[in-house]
Amino acid sequence: MSDYEGIFADLLTEFVAFKRSMGFKYVSETYELRRFARLTTTFSLERPVLTDELVDAWSAQGPMEGLRTRSRRIYVLRQFALFLNTMGYEASIPIPERPTRHYTFVPYIFTTPELDRIFTAADRLMPCHRSTIPLAMPIVLRMLYGCGLRISEALNLENRHVHRESGVLEISQSKFGKDRLVPMSPSLTEVCRQYAAIAHPDAIADAYFFAHLDGRPLTQNNVYRRFREVLWQSGISHGGKGKGPR
């Protein structure tokens, strides 16, 4: 049974399946598509044609609706309309309306001397028998810098994803649900071997590579707080949450 109602039900199901086959999760979008399907039942449609009237009705701004929410709704229908066109159906293409964005964030580019101080400060974090973070931080920072990983990708790594013989990281279910292989430098591969020998003497394949003593993965907040400490010890101003180097 289809999740959608109305004359577009089967086509909406095909559209979502197509998007997911391309790597998109398409979760929140299905909520909007179900709303659209209900709207179509208020029109007298004998065949699946996306008319101007239907597009205008969907694109009308609700009384309590913000511009961003409306823009997202229109974008979802636009994607469906383009899909219909490629399938040979008549479809009026909604005009995308994107809200004006004002970017205030200015990226901070670390200098080579600053990076040297950061890695030195991370290496000097005081060890603690109750925490693995001082042990993990030097490797986390080098992995982010040397491999260009997102912090979430690094913290989601399991032992089996860190190939310490070949020097390759296996990133699973990253952005758009994609997997990829990332090479490590020989020096980073070696520090990963040294870290694993201490943190994972049992070499459990599905254990998190960067984990607490109880096996839970380190969190982004854990790393962020220690990173601020490292910046302080490096003589680099943080600038405040959301404003400092990252």
pLDDT at 101 over 70: no
C-alpha span between 3 and 36 (Å, rounded): 12
pLDDT at 2 over 80: no
- Global pTM? 0.60
**Mean pLDDT for the chain overall:** 89
**pLDDT score recorded for residue 99:** 56
**pLDDT score recorded for residue 165:** 92
Question: Are the C-beta atoms of residues 32 and 76 closer than 8 Å to each other?
Answer: yes
Least trusted range by pLDDT, from 51-60, 173-182, 226-235, 237-246: 237-246
**pLDDT score recorded for residue 1:** 57
**pLDDT score recorded for residue 246:** 52
pLDDT at 138 over 60: yes
**pLDDT score recorded for residue 135:** 94
C-alpha span between 55 and 77 (Å, rounded): 8
Least trusted range by pLDDT, from 1-5, 30-34, 164-168, 181-185: 1-5
Average pLDDT on 42-63 reads 93
**pLDDT score recorded for residue 183:** 95
Enter the tokens of residue 150. 């997102």
pLDDT tens for each residue of 212-221 = 999 999 999 9
pLDDT > 70 fraction of the chain, expressed in percent and rounded = 91
**pLDDT score recorded for residue 178:** 75
pLDDT tens for each residue of 83-99 = 999 999 999 999 886 65
Residue 49's contacts (CB-CB under 8 Å, 6 or more residues apart) are 89, 90, 91
**pLDDT score recorded for residue 100:** 59
For the ranges 72-81, 120-129, 196-205, the maximum mean pLDDT occurs at: 72-81
